[in-house]
Chain A
Amino acid sequence: MTCYIRIFSLIFILAGLCGCEYNLDKKNFRDIEKPPASHPFDLSLLSGNDTIKVFGETEITYSFNTYGLEIKAGVFKIQGKTWTEYSESGMFYLSPEDLIPGYDTLTLELYTRTGSGSLADLLDAENYVAVKKWLVVSDNRPSPVITPVKSTTKEGFLKLSWPKCSQYNFNYYRLQGTINSNTVVRKNFSDADSNFYVDSCYIGGPAIYRVDVMVFSEYSYNMGNNLQFEEPSPVLNFEESGIDSVRIFWNKAKYPARYKLTIPNTTPEVVLLDSQVDTSCIVATPGFGSYTSYDLFTLPVNLNFNNGYIRRDSKYYSLGTHFLPNWPKYAYNRLEKVMYTSSYNNIQCYDPLTVNLLNSQNISKLSYAGLFSCPTNSAKVAALSSENIYIYENRNLLNPVIISLNGGIVGDYFYLTDNDLIAVVRSGKYEQIRISDQQLIASFTITDYPYYSKWACFSTSNDGEYASIVTKNGGHIYRIANGNATEIYSDTRVYRSVMFNETDKNQLFMTFYENNILEVRDPADFSLTNSITLPGNKSVICNIDPETGYMLLTDYELLYVMDLSIPKLKLKLRSSDYRPRLYNNRLFSESGYSYDITKLLQK
């Protein structure tokens, strides 16, 4: 029994010692409700639209409305980069340098407390997570440098094309076109697929087109390469079409165009042609000795065009070749077959056939006053300036005999006879001067001084014996002998012009205002030796071609070339020149033109 008690006591002790430790098992349980499974959130980016464009350092401004919940963190993520924000509103920056160019997604993971107050809530182990995504496009590559190319549409218009820009930061193409040094095109194309432009206004001329690609980047663009070319534009050309007409034509433009041919400085504007088809027209010639300017405007067919596209070609057309300035007068030496005239203060010698200058010599006070005359029996030539008379032996124009006159007076008539006399009309006087001793051998005052075509109203026979002066009031013939000038005939007919035949002093040609008769009279007794009907009234005798014998007459509208031997009108030519001459089938005008009428005379 004692043994059992001992064993029982031992077990009791051991059990008591092992099982009597103070128990820590009281609880503090909070009976709170679980938070709802979902919660509304309003997450927005104030700086972003549907797609956030990151083409430069971009500020991303956010604003969260958690409807009362405390934000633990808002984590923005894109391409492995994160921005952690802790407030309801704020901003951060996205840099395209940190992103691969292209489209991607910016993801926001917003963590908030649940607000339940639970242990997990308090320990950040219980959250609401709101996820929102935005499409992001980023690119900060510099703009490409592109070069446009040109082609032609099926309608024939100029088409400019350029490579498409595939960059995400594309903003717009800027096309700039400079035509004829005028900026005529400046257009922007905001669609990257719009990579061509039809310039229906370009019709030719120097052109520079450039396309700049503008991008949304810090350095917004690089200048494109120029496409530079020049398509020939229409140019005026002239072609004689008969005696009285000229054909004006031009090359057709490469691109559709409208052609407008006008005469400039006319009011109202004279338009000779306005067409999209025709490239030529025939118009009346301006006549010998004058010119007409023409403007050819090549215009775009598109009505809404910039004036900078317009091409203008201006040219003048004249019948003959202009070769002298300042209203030159002429003389012809039939022995040397050269023509004398002046250019400013230079007496000049030309080959009338080629109009090549053979010699030139300066003479003081010659400009605007120069008159020239050649005898029929020598190579001499005499020139009259406003202060001297110069007599040269030949076309070398050396060592002239100089006869001084009272200075400052421009002569109206000047003639060198075959026997070395000089006839000159100045200051209302007719004078004859002998070259050999430079003496004035005769002089008389002209009481009825010519007013109209005065240059054609004086004439002296080739030996100086006779002089004739005609006006609308009548005609006078003087005989000059032994220093005396005696009027041997006068009448009151209405004369237009008078001229002695240079090779026959007994032939005096006379024309009239009121008829078309050319009378040939003997100055000795004023007997009528011939009467020739002219093609028109009021004809003024210009000269007789020393080589052909044809007489040149003018009524200041038309020139007439008459073969007096038949008699026959050889040529009628429009001209308003004041003092034309005919030498060796070449016409010379006071306006400085020459014109070869050989072919016309042969017709």
Chain B
Amino acid sequence: MRLVLSVICVLAFVSIGIAQKYKISLKSGYGTYQLNDLRGLQNDFATQGAWMHIEKVQQLPGYLNYSVSVEYFVNPKNLIGINGAYYTTGGRNHISDYSGEYALNMPLNGYRLGVQYRNVFAGFNKINMYVSADGGMMLSVLSISETLTLYPDHSNTEAVDFTSISFTFDPSVGAWYPLAKKVSLDISLGYQVYLESTLFNVDNVESELTDFRGNPVRLNWSGLRLGIGISYNLQ
């Protein structure tokens, strides 16, 4: 997936050379994620391993995300474009002592690709305020790996990957502040609405991820999105 996004970005940059009135934005931000079912699944794992004193040391917290967009100035107030984003978080149950280590790692990555519309609705001083609406598809990949290591020479790892695809809609507001002639600082605040989806085993797509009670574990990336980045105008 990372490779796909990289290819998209490269293509965007290549297109810069041939485009006029374009704006390229690179943004990093912090997002919160609901992911309650996944946390419940992690709780199940932790509860099951409580007798081993396993504890949840990382439980799918909000974390940095990254996005890139290429927009076209329909007019000075309206821009349309495409964007891609990368979200990452994870859960971890862990215990270790002198005799060994147990770790349950659940890294979760999301890859979004969509279109966006941005409207500059106000400007004062050098700051331009805008609203933005993004929509697109999001590919999520969850890896669950369980590793038991007993010193000195025993180690065993079991891993299984799940994937899910769903739709997202991100309304946001933001502002540009010019830093140079073609470069400006871009700040935004929004909320990502994620259409809950189930996770399927990569090796067996008919097998969905369920919790310990047999209920499907639904994925929900929804949450606040705070971003900051740099925009570059190709006009």
Please provide the chain B residues from 146 to 170 with a CB less than 8 Å away from any CB of chain A in the complex.
Answer: 148, 150-151, 154
Docked CA distance A332–B75 (Å):
190
Contact A28 B96 (CB under 8 A): yes
Contact A16 B58 (CB under 8 A): no
A-B contact pairs, 22 of them (CB 8 A): A10-B10, A13-B68, A17-B9, A20-B86, A22-B90, A26-B92, A26-B94, A28-B57, A29-B97, A30-B96, A34-B99, A117-B53, A118-B97, A118-B99, A119-B52, A119-B96, A119-B97, A120-B100, A120-B150, A123-B52, A123-B100, A126-B99
Nearest CB on A from B26, distance (A): 7
Contact B66 A16 (CB under 8 A): yes
Residue of A nearest to B58 (CB): A26
Docked CA distance A367–B29 (Å):
157
Residue of A nearest to B104 (CB): A24
Return chain A residues, CB-CB under 8 Å to B99: 34, 116, 118-121, 125-126
Contact A26 B9 (CB under 8 A): no
Nearest CB on B from A23, distance (A): 8
A9 close to B (CB within 8 Å): yes
A437 close to B (CB within 8 Å): no
Contact B63 A22 (CB under 8 A): yes
Convert B82-113 into 0s and 1s, putting 1 for each residue whose CB lies closer than 8 angstroms to a CB of A: 00001011111011111111110111110000
Docked CA distance A28–B88 (Å):
22
Nearest CB on A from B66, distance (A): 6
A398 close to B (CB within 8 Å): no
Nearest CB on A from B30, distance (A): 12
Docked CA distance A32–B96 (Å):
10
Contact of B66 among A17, A24, A122, A125 (CB under 8 A): A17
B224 close to A (CB within 8 Å): no
A31 close to B (CB within 8 Å): yes
Please provide the chain A residues from 29 to 44 with a CB less than 8 Å away from any CB of chain B in the complex.
Answer: 29-32, 34
B16 close to A (CB within 8 Å): yes
Nearest CB on B from A10, distance (A): 6
Contact A125 B86 (CB under 8 A): no
A6 close to B (CB within 8 Å): yes
A14 close to B (CB within 8 Å): yes
Contact A17 B96 (CB under 8 A): no
A303 close to B (CB within 8 Å): no
A27 close to B (CB within 8 Å): yes
A50 close to B (CB within 8 Å): no
If A21-B88, A119-B150, A125-B100 touch, whether A30 touches B95 (CB-CB below 8 Å) is: yes
If A13-B26, A119-B99 touch, whether A28 touches B150 (CB-CB below 8 Å) is: no
Nearest CB on A from B131, distance (A): 26
Contact A20 B66 (CB under 8 A): yes
A18 close to B (CB within 8 Å): yes
Please provide the chain A residues from 102 to 159 with a CB less than 8 Å away from any CB of chain B in the complex.
Answer: 116-123, 125-126
Contact A21 B97 (CB under 8 A): no
Docked CA distance A27–B94 (Å):
6
Contact B95 A17 (CB under 8 A): no
Nearest CB on B from A121, distance (A): 7
Nearest CB on B from A492, distance (A): 144
Nearest CB on B from A519, distance (A): 143
Count of A interface residues, CB-CB < 8 Å? 32
Return chain B residues, CB-CB under 8 Å to A125: 99-100, 150, 154
Count of B interface residues, CB-CB < 8 Å? 46
Return chain B residues, CB-CB under 8 Å to A24: 58, 90-92, 103, 105-107
Convert B125-156 into 0s and 1s, putting 1 for each residue whose CB lies closer than 8 angstroms to a CB of A: 00000000000000000000000101100100
Contact A17 B88 (CB under 8 A): no
Please provide the chain B residues from 44 to 99 with a CB less than 8 Å away from any CB of chain A in the complex.
Answer: 51-55, 57-58, 63-64, 66, 68, 86, 88-92, 94-99
Contact A28 B64 (CB under 8 A): no
Contact A27 B88 (CB under 8 A): no
Contact A22 B88 (CB under 8 A): yes
Contact B88 A30 (CB under 8 A): no
Residue of B nearest to A126 (CB): B99
Residue of A nearest to B111 (CB): A17
Docked CA distance A9–B25 (Å):
11
B13 close to A (CB within 8 Å): yes
Docked CA distance A10–B24 (Å):
12
Nearest CB on B from A464, distance (A): 145
B173 close to A (CB within 8 Å): no
Return chain B residues, CB-CB under 8 Å to A30: 53, 95-97
B6 close to A (CB within 8 Å): yes
Nearest CB on A from B144, distance (A): 11
Contact B86 A17 (CB under 8 A): yes
Contact of B95 among A22, A28, A126 (CB under 8 A): A28
If A24-B90, A28-B94 touch, whether A119 touches B101 (CB-CB below 8 Å) is: yes
Nearest CB on B from A162, distance (A): 63
Residue of B nearest to A117 (CB): B53
B193 close to A (CB within 8 Å): no
Return chain B residues, CB-CB under 8 Å to A12: 26
Residue of B nearest to A122 (CB): B52
Return chain A residues, CB-CB under 8 Å to B52: 119, 122-123
Contact B13 A9 (CB under 8 A): yes
Docked CA distance A475–B86 (Å):
177
Docked CA distance A22–B100 (Å):
24
B5 close to A (CB within 8 Å): yes
Docked CA distance A34–B99 (Å):
8
Nearest CB on B from A12, distance (A): 8
**Which 5 pairs from chain A and chain B are nearest by CB?**
A120-B99, A26-B57, A118-B99, A22-B88, A24-B92
Docked CA distance A418–B10 (Å):
184
Contact B89 A22 (CB under 8 A): yes
B2 close to A (CB within 8 Å): yes
Docked CA distance A6–B54 (Å):
48
Contact B100 A119 (CB under 8 A): yes
Please provide the chain B residues from 9 to 41 with a CB less than 8 Å away from any CB of chain A in the complex.
Answer: 9-10, 13, 16-17, 26, 28
Return chain A residues, CB-CB under 8 Å to B54: 28
Docked CA distance A125–B150 (Å):
8
Residue of A nearest to B109 (CB): A21
Residue of B nearest to A32 (CB): B97
Return chain A residues, CB-CB under 8 Å to B58: 24, 26
Residue of B nearest to A14 (CB): B6
Residue of A nearest to B1 (CB): A17
Contact of A6 among B13, B51, B68 (CB under 8 A): B13
